[in-house]
Amino acid sequence: MSSTNNAIILVARVFLSAMFILSGFGKLADPAGTAGMIAQAGMPAATALAYLAGLFELVSGLAVLIGFQTRLAGWALAAFCVFTGVVFHGHAINVPGFPDAANGFLSTMNQIMFMKNLTLAGAYAMLATFGPGAYSLDARRGSYKPAIA
């Protein structure tokens, strides 16, 4: 693989990791909003799950950033994106007492978040399949084998 392709993969890893590093840190610093969404979805132990989600996002985001266990992190994040997309963003929003236009706007935003999650799942599946590139900790450790010669 060319050095240009490896540089592009590195830049893609930076972009793909930033959201989860920042989101994970935010959940760990203040889990209340995430815990509320988890509780509203009917899941138990919402605060504990918010902390676990934050830890998962932070650790897996850092793994992608530095290219460590990248394939495992990629598959885990792809599954996480599909799960959270379906559970938290796979439905219309209807807040009682809100005007129809406001609920329509919220539903549109939720649909965009759902599509974002599916798009990210595809990107993470691709990263898991093709690997982190030469500019990664996996490559330095000798555990990266390019999927395509």
Q: Model confidence over 8-46: pLDDT tens digits?
A: 999 999 999 999 999 999 999 999 999 999 999 999 999
CA separation for the pair 81, 50 (Å, rounded): 15
The DSSP 8-state label assigned to residue 42 in this structure reads: T
State the Rg of the chain over Cα. Answer: 17
- What is the C-alpha end-to-end distance of the chain, expressed in Å? 7
CA separation for the pair 65, 74 (Å, rounded): 11
Residue type, 80: F
Confidence label for 147 from pLDDT (cuts 50, 70 and 90): low
Can you give the pLDDT at residue 1? 73
- How far is residue 98 CA from its own chain's centroid? 30
CA separation for the pair 4, 14 (Å, rounded): 15
